[in-house]
Chain A
Amino acid sequence: MKKALIEIKDFSFAYASEKILKSVSLNVCEGEYISIIGPNGAGKTTLLKCLIRILRGGKGIIRLDGRFLAEYRQKELAKLVSYVPQGDGGGALFTVAEYVLMGRYPYLSPFTTFSAEDRGEAENALELTGTAHLAQRRLNTLSGGERQRVSIASAIAQGSRIMLLDEPTTFLDPRHENDVLNVIKKVNHNFGITVVSVTHDINHAALLSDRIVSLKNGNVMFDGPAGDIMDNRVLEKIYDKRFSFVKHPENGSLIIVPEVG
């Protein structure tokens, strides 16, 4: 049994009176690629935001790398966990290079500016995501797919062991979707970064991730190997709907096909 890098136990979170997460327990091991699926409003994004402390005040236990979440200072937390929000749209006038370099913020000490090492890390992240040629472009001139890869580059520059992604491929055309998924795969395979990705794309989740966790109404509904999700007994409980499957011509794994008519 590998060591759990993220341990969540009986965790709940409420906005005002509305309970979004009821009782979530979940372990993620170092180097795993986990997809979190589930219907809208299940609490997927809320869970990610609690892990990076954008949202505070949840009840229960979250431990990262053996330490309680509350013990981390924000900069320490950022060195361990990075976050790629959904449709990150701010900072229109910054150049890609400036933006990605900001990922190095947790390594800055007071009264200093980014070092040569920081710049090197930022350049590597641009290379890795295939966005080096965009370095001098302003963010507001990028396409959706480019923007998403640049967001991931900034998270890579952060040099953390865990990367949280919130619907990284929503709104992307198939080619850009593919580019982004390849980048995430590379981050996980080549660098051993633990990936937790929220998605609505069950097919890609099953094909790419090691494990799938499904949330519904603030509870964990399913937690198991990615292949096991392609089963109507499981999916019906999550989505209240049955699906049709076919075998993928390349590797024989099941994939969901759209309904006819």
Chain B
Amino acid sequence: MSRKTAVPFLFSVCALAVLALAPFIGMETIPLDSIINPVSGDTRAEIFWKIRLPRVILSFCAGAGLSVSGMTFQAIFRNPLATPFTLGVSGGAAFGAAAYLMAGMMISMLGLSGQSLSSFAGALLAIVIVYGLTRAKKGLSTATMLLAGVAVNFFFSSLILFIQYLSDFTHSYRIIRWLMGGIETVGFGSVITVAPFVLIGCAVVFFFTHELNLMSLSEETAISRGVNVKGIKTALFFAVSLMVGGVVAQCGPIGFVGMMCPHICRLLIGPDHNYLTPATFLFGGMFLTACDMLSRTLIAPAEIPIGVITALLGGPFFLWLLLGGSAERSILKQI
């Protein structure tokens, strides 16, 4: 079995193990026995089913969605630092969700929460802006693209600040806490709000893995090999907006996951998206589940917001990407 197939296989075994074990670990380790033979009055079974398990599933979904989004952006923009977070798409999603929080509305459409939908709209808006910038200046360099991302991020954070200024104290606090990123959940409610966004988005990406391979070569090559680049790019942008919007609305803008996970997977199995996509999905899920485990155990009974943990890991990783290696071997050139 080649590395390309072995790694995704190994990851799926690991992912199952992580999903099975993680709910037992926390401030207090829950013994298996108390789940199988629950004693009445024992809250541990309840904690397991109603708090830990949904939380583990939610963090897995969020990690998988953000990572697959990052991978998709890296391929479409042919740039290893182009991720929804660095290009301001998470910022757009956060703005959408914050605007919804401020309005204090409670709307839902087709069973999807209003916060997720307005977050999706914000993400889409940011993508349109960033993509418009790359179209206007053809052959955008890494530096210009990151600067454009910074600008878009600034723009949306200013809008978020403005919203906070306008909001009353409770709303404002909710927005701040949510902006730090966090996976808090009671029951399966939030899992049900996030999972459809992530699953639909990932399904679209999984459908277009061959096209992602060709687009990561160059747009012209992709067209000459028969890829309908315009249509597929639009579909993928929608998919990424869905995933980022869905995750950010619930968990806040968790940074760097979308950049680190696809890179680690690419280093392990190479750039073929037929294998890279499942690997990234699984690894991203496991990674965020592990981060969440740290977030709830490190300073228990208090929690470290998960966004703080991923940023602490991601910052140095980002710098390593920017500076690491010699000019030719630099990972920046390897996409």
Binding site for B on A (CB under 8 A): 49, 52-54, 73-79, 81-83, 85, 88-95, 98-99, 102-103, 105-106, 108, 110-111, 113, 140, 158
Contacts and interface: CB of A to CB of B under 8 A. Distances in A.
A90 B218 contact: yes
Nearest to A92: B334
B224 A93 contact: no
Contacts of A82: 224
22 contacts: A52-B224, A74-B223, A75-B228, A81-B224, A85-B218, A85-B221, A85-B224, A88-B221, A90-B217, A91-B271, A92-B333, A93-B271, A94-B213, A94-B271, A95-B270, A98-B213, A102-B210, A102-B217, A105-B214, A105-B226, A110-B207, A113-B210
Interface string B215-229: 011111101111110
Interface of B: 78, 207, 210, 213-214, 216-221, 223-228, 266, 270-272, 274, 333-335
Contacts of A91: 216-218, 271
Contacts of B270: 93-95, 98
Contacts of B223: 52-54, 74
B224 A90 contact: no
A91 B215 CA distance: 9
Q: Main secondary structure on chain B at its contact with chain A? A: helix
A86 to B, nearest CB: 10
Contacts of A78: 224-226
A77 B226 contact: yes
A53 B228 CA distance: 10
Nearest to A166: B220
Contacts of B272: 94, 98
Of B78, B219, B224, B225, chain A has the most CB atoms within 10 Å of the CB of B224
A147 to B, nearest CB: 12
A103 B225 contact: yes
B226 A90 contact: no
A159 to B, nearest CB: 11
Contacts of B335: 92-93
A108 B214 CA distance: 13
Contacts, number: 82
A78 B210 CA distance: 15
Nearest to B267: A93
Contact of A74 (B207, B228, B271): B228
Contacts of A88: 217-218, 221
Contacts of A89: 218
Given A78-B226, A105-B226, A140-B334, A90 B210 contact: no
A10 to B, nearest CB: 24
Contacts of A158: 225
A111 B223 CA distance: 20
Contacts of B220: 49, 54, 83, 85
B92 to A, nearest CB: 28
Contacts of B219: 54
A136 to B, nearest CB: 11
A52 B229 CA distance: 13
Contacts of B225: 78, 102-103, 105-106, 158
Given A78-B226, A85-B224, A105 B218 contact: no
A79 B225 CA distance: 8
A52 B219 CA distance: 12
B137 to A, nearest CB: 14
Contact of A106 (B218, B226, B266, B271): B226
Nearest to B222: A105
Of A49, A54, A82, A99, chain B has the most CB atoms within 10 Å of the CB of A54
A71 B64 CA distance: 40
Given A74-B226, A82-B224, A92-B334, A105 B266 contact: no
